[in-house]
């Protein structure tokens, strides 16, 4: 009927659209649209091995139960993000809002969902996603009793919710590799990866996730995903602080831009986002920050809005003397092999959880390899002002925002 090792594919393809400035107080109201999904879910039910004979027939009551269950489970996943709400049936939000459409058909084989954008900081109002509800037959367990039917209806709701949360995460700026963003996985060796990444919402087929396991339980956001979501407009009441890159060269320790962090409102982690740009290939922008011994430093470039990437970035981490202590060009992963060169994901760059060996000054360096582009540099968990200081890991995430190569 199905295989626990069935691979799952869900990804996002981004489109260009006009960016709208969203006020910080904006709240995201997500509409769960199940129009046209009844027959598709019935198809998944049959594909899972259940015919139309009692007690296993797919009924109107089952369709209604599934819709209610998905809404409740989405609310559970996003409960910490108090500005996000979910609506279904006739409760359609007013104005522009994201819609998750469960009645979609088509898509490449194995593709369970597709988002309209990869939207760092949720800068675009109303970008949504589609869920291919007719492709979930591999989520069911074998069963012969009414209790088995109830269990499989719950598995279906879990699977639909996990995919919906995954695709919605993309519209808020999250990437597949965010699933690896937990403190246990540390640069440079990334030892100890045995599948933990696949318990997280942004996991995917290339990370080792399976369609069958989608039904087991609700997944959670990794620590890296949570840090990023706190910068998404409308996801939390107060987004993380953003400043603009200062003009002039920042290519030496003496000219590096010093940044000060502020605690994120939800997690309490110190963080700041810096909007900058690389005007010429190879140009190095340095940002100076403090870290404490034992803190975990993460650097991550992210090209938003379009895949495949058009800007190839590189990242570097320097100590207080300017000595290079970590660097990365491209992101790669394949199952439990992370940053080994297997399964190249993108020309974005990532240094994940580099443990600080001393308390003091560090420098994050961003450069483009062959083209130019605007970028966002997010630093979280480093040492803030003394009055704001808390202990914790460091995450510095650089997110590259594409722009025209001829920008003046």
Query: What are the tens digits of pLDDT across the range 16-69?
Result: 333 344 444 579 999 999 999 999 999 999 998 887 776 788 999 999 999 999
Q: Are 137 and 47 a contacting pair, CB within 8 Å?
A: yes
pLDDT at 319 over 90: yes
Could you tell me if 123 and 27 lie in one domain?
A: yes
Confidence of residue 383 (pLDDT cuts 50, 70, 90): low
Report the half-sphere exposure of 100 (CA within 13 A, side-chain side).
Answer: 30
Residue range 119-135: mean pLDDT, rounded: 91
Share of the chain above pLDDT 70, in %: 85
Confidence of residue 14 (pLDDT cuts 50, 70, 90): very low
pLDDT at 385 over 70: no
pLDDT in tens, 332-358: 999 999 999 888 788 788 889 899 899
State how far the alpha carbon of 150 is from the alpha carbons of 1, 75, 77, 145, 214, in Å.
18, 21, 21, 9, 16
Last residue of a domain, one of 187, 205, 229: 229
3-state secondary structure of 374: strand
Which of 67-81, 142-156, 204-218 bottoms out in mean pLDDT, i.e. has the lowest? 142-156
Q: Are 239 and 364 a contacting pair, CB within 8 Å?
A: no
Confidence of residue 407 (pLDDT cuts 50, 70, 90): very low
Q: What is the pLDDT of residue 380?
A: 77
Q: Flag whether 4 is in a domain.
A: no
Q: Flag whether 2 is in a domain.
A: no
The CATH number of residue 42's host domain is: 3.40.390
Share of the chain above pLDDT 90, in %: 56
Q: Flag whether 237 is in a domain.
A: no
Q: What is the pLDDT of residue 303?
A: 63
Could you tell me if 143 and 281 lie in one domain?
A: no
Q: Flag whether 117 is in a domain.
A: yes
Distance of CA 63 to the CA centre of its chain: 29
pLDDT at 186 over 90: yes
Domain count, the chain: 2
Could you tell me if 351 and 217 lie in one domain?
A: no
Assign 3-state DSSP to the chain and report helix, strand, coil percentages, each to 5: 20, 25, 50
Could you tell me if 160 and 294 lie in one domain?
A: no
Could you tell me if 143 and 189 lie in one domain?
A: yes
Domain containing 343: what range?
242-401
Q: How many helices (H) and strands (E) in the chain?
A: 4, 21
Q: Flag whether 3 is in a domain.
A: no
Average pLDDT of the chain, as a whole number: 84
Q: What is the pLDDT of residue 191?
A: 95
Q: Write out the two tokens for 369.
A: 């390899």
Confidence of residue 220 (pLDDT cuts 50, 70, 90): very high
> What predicted TM-score, i.e. pTM, was given to this entire model?
0.89
Residue range 374-401: mean pLDDT, rounded: 56
Q: What is the pLDDT of residue 25?
A: 58
7 vs 41, higher pLDDT: 41
Residue range 257-263: mean pLDDT, rounded: 88
Q: What is the pLDDT of residue 386?
A: 46
Residue range 162-172: mean pLDDT, rounded: 97
Q: What is the pLDDT of residue 272?
A: 82
Name, in order, each residue with C-beta under 8 angstroms of 20's C-beta and a sequence gap of 6 or more: 123, 124, 125
Q: Checking phi first, is residue 46 left (phi over 0); if not, alpha (psi -120 to 50) or beta?
A: alpha
Distance of CA 363 to the CA centre of its chain: 25
pLDDT in tens, 85-121: 999 999 999 999 999 999 999 989 889 999 998 888 8
Q: Flag whether 345 is in a domain.
A: yes
Could you tell me if 215 and 266 lie in one domain?
A: no
DSSP one-letter string for 261-323: -EE-TTT--EEEEEEEEE-STT--EEEEEEE-TT-EEEEE---BS-SS-S--EEEEEE-TTS-
The CATH number of residue 366's host domain is: 2.60.120.380
Look at the chain and count its residues: 408
Confidence of residue 397 (pLDDT cuts 50, 70, 90): low
Q: What is the pLDDT of residue 16?
A: 33
Q: Flag whether 331 is in a domain.
A: yes
State how far the alpha carbon of 304 is from the alpha carbons of 1, 114, 174, in Å.
39, 16, 10
- What interhelical angle do 146-171 and 60-77 show, nearest 10? 50
Could you tell me if 276 and 374 lie in one domain?
A: yes
Q: Flag whether 82 is in a domain.
A: yes
- H or E stretch covering 38: helix 37-47
Could you tell me if 126 and 207 lie in one domain?
A: yes
DSSP-assigned beta bridge partners for residue 354? 297
Residue range 7-11: mean pLDDT, rounded: 40
Q: What is the pLDDT of residue 49?
A: 85
Could you tell me if 192 and 263 lie in one domain?
A: no
Q: Write out the two tokens for 283.
A: 């140009």
pLDDT at 293 over 80: yes
Could you tell me if 101 and 190 lie in one domain?
A: yes
Could you tell me if 194 and 251 lie in one domain?
A: no
Q: What is the pLDDT of residue 187?
A: 94
Last residue of a domain, one of 165, 199, 229: 229
Last residue of a domain, one of 199, 229, 259: 229
Could you tell me if 225 and 248 lie in one domain?
A: no
DSSP state of 241: P
Q: Write out the two tokens for 220.
A: 């959670």
């Amino acid at each position: 009927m199905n295989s626990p090792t069935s691979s799952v594919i869900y990804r996002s393809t981004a489109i260009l659209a006009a960016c709208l400035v969203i006020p910080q107080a904006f709240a995201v109201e997500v509409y769960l649209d199940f129009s046209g999904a009844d027959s598709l879910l019935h198809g998944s039910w049959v594909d899972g091995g259940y015919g139309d004979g009692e007690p296993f027939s797919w009924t109107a009551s089952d369709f209604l139960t599934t819709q209610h269950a998905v809404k409740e489970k989405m609310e559970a996943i996003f409960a910490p993000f108090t500005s996000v709400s979910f609506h279904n049936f006739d409760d359609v939000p007013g104005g522009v809002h994201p819609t998750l459409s469960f009645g979609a058909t088509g898509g490449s084989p194995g593709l369970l969902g597709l988002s309209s954008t990869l939207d760092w900081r949720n800068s675009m109002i109303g970008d949504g996603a589609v869920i291919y509800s007719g492709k979930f037959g591999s989520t069911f367990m074998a069963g012969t009793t009414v209790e088995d039917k109830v269990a499989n209806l719950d598995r279906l709701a879990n699977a639909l919710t996990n995919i919906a949360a995954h695709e919605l995460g993309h519209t808020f700026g999250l990437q597949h590799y965010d699933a690896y963003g937990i403190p246990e996985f540390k640069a440079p060796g990334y030892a100890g990866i045995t599948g933990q990444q696949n318990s997280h919402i942004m996991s995917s087929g290339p990370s080792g996730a399976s369609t069958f396991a989608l039904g087991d339980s609700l997944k959670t956001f990794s620590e890296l995903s949570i840090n990023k979501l706190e910068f998404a407009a409308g996801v939390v009441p107060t987004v993380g602080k953003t400043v603009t890159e200062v003009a002039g060269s920042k290519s030496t320790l003496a000219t590096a831009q010093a940044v000060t962090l502020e605690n994120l409102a939800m997690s309490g982690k110190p963080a700041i986002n810096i909007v900058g740009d690389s005007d010429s290939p190879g140009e190095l922008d340095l940002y100076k920050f403090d870290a404490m011994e034992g803190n975990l430093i993460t650097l991550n470039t992210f090209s938003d809005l379009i895949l495949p990437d058009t800007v190839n970035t590189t990242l570097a981490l320097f100590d207080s003397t300017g000595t290079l202590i970590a660097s990365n060009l491209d992101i790669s992963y394949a199952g439990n092999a992370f940053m080994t060169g297997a399964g190249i994901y993108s020309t974005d760059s990532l240094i994940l959880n580099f443990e600080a060996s001393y308390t003091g000054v560090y420098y994050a360096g961003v450069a483009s390899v062959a083209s130019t582009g605007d970028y966002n540099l997010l630093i979280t968990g480093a040492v803030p002002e003394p009055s704001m200081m808390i202990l914790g890991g460091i995450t510095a995430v650089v997110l590259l925002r594409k722009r025209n190569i001829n920008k003046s």
